[in-house]
Amino acid sequence: GATAAATMKFKVTVVSVAGLSSSTHYVAVACGAANKFKTAALKGANVEFNETFTCAGAAAGDTLSIEVMTAKKFGADKAVASYTLSLKTMQRYERDKEKRVALDNSGCKLALVVTPLDFGTVPPAEKPTVTQMLPPMPPEDEVNEQYRRLMETLGMGKDFANPTQVQQEAMKTMSVANKWAMICAHAKGQKQQRGKVDETVAYWKSKVSADGGGGELTVADAKRLQLLLAGKPLHWLEAFCDGGLQGLLRVLDMSSRRATVYSLRQSAVDGGHGHHHHHDAAAA
């Protein structure tokens, strides 16, 4: 009897087998007790089978096993090569989308197409909901390389004594789809920020440089810059410090001098008013 968990249903198409001896072969497909199938027996070293079987009532713990058999006239048929595919792995495939699978066992190459029809409840972690809106994902090693660069950009890993180890852990534990989602989100954020002039390094450098007619910061400016310096990735800070830092220090220095002069003037105006008059009168 099928239990509640045993709801997996999928199609398996045995496309072809290459690298056989030239005798007659067929492919046996099995999954759980209920699903056992055989293709027609065909002769040749490279055979196109193109036969589709539907497996139903399989549990996530089951394994899809495929054997390439030599059809013998006398005696038992002999397995030339056998392959297994875990249904847990297959739960990651998208429903109603054909997934090509190439398996190789000691030179005997099997081409399959697996089409999930119903995989019951897919664990949420395995199904990134963002994928639908993201641009098409490049190959896995390209994603990993972009992810590594992103981590460096954000200044992660620079603080660790052994960045590779930490990054490798992150690489291992995070799924490729999630890494890709992160890369895309960052790129989108960068794009939106590029539209905002007051977030560019050039804007702030000219703000604080004497040549750029800058050298004046309002209180609002200072607060905005403080937020940017705290929240921007490492490369932004490095670019700003290269030239902008001197300007900023100069502006702050000028501001504090102005404040000092202003407070001296204030105290002179408030405190020493009558005193001055007395002097003038004496002089006259």
pLDDT interval class at 212 (50, 70, 90):
low
Q: Is 257 exposed, middle or buried (0-12, 13-18, 19+ CB in 10 A)?
A: exposed
Structure confidence at residue 163 (pLDDT)? 54
Q: Is 132 exposed, middle or buried (0-12, 13-18, 19+ CB in 10 A)?
A: exposed
213 pLDDT above the threshold of 80:
no
**Which among 77-86, 147-156, 158-167, 238-247 has the top mean pLDDT?**
77-86
DSSP structure class, residue 283: H
Paired residues of 86 in beta bridges:
63
CA dist., res. 227 & res. 202, Å (int): 16
3-state helix, strand, coil in the chain (%, to 5): 45, 25, 30
14 pLDDT above the threshold of 60:
yes
Structure confidence at residue 124 (pLDDT)? 46
Q: Which residue has the tokens 């800070």?
A: 237
283 pLDDT above the threshold of 70:
no
- The CB density around residue 40, as the number of other CB atoms within 10 Å, is 11
CA dist., res. 183 & res. 170, Å (int): 14
CB of 258 within 8 A of CB of 224?
A: no
The structure tokens listed for 110 are 């099997």
Mean pLDDT value of segment 222-242: 81
The helix (run of H) or strand (run of E) holding residue 161 is none
The per-residue pLDDT for range 85-125, each reduced to its tens digit, is: 888 888 788 777 888 988 888 789 999 999 888 876 554 44
Q: Which percentage of the chain shows pLDDT scores above 70? A: 77
Structure confidence at residue 260 (pLDDT)? 82
Q: What Cα–Cα distance (Å) separates residue 66 from each residue in 26, 37, 56, 58, 79?
A: 11, 10, 16, 15, 10
Structure confidence at residue 160 (pLDDT)? 47
Is the model more confident about 247 or about 43?
43
In sequence order, the 6+-apart residues with CB closer than 8 A to the CB of 218 are none
172 pLDDT above the threshold of 80:
no
Global pTM reads: 0.43
Q: Which percentage of the chain shows pLDDT scores above 90? A: 15
Shortest CA distance to 116 belongs to which of 7, 29, 2, 37?
7
Q: Is 11 exposed, middle or buried (0-12, 13-18, 19+ CB in 10 A)?
A: middle
Question: What count of Cα atoms within 13 Å lies in the side-chain half-sphere of residue 215?
Answer: 9
Mean pLDDT value of segment 153-160: 59
What strands, in cross-sheet order, belong to the sheet with 108-118? 47-58, 8-18, 108-118, 99-105
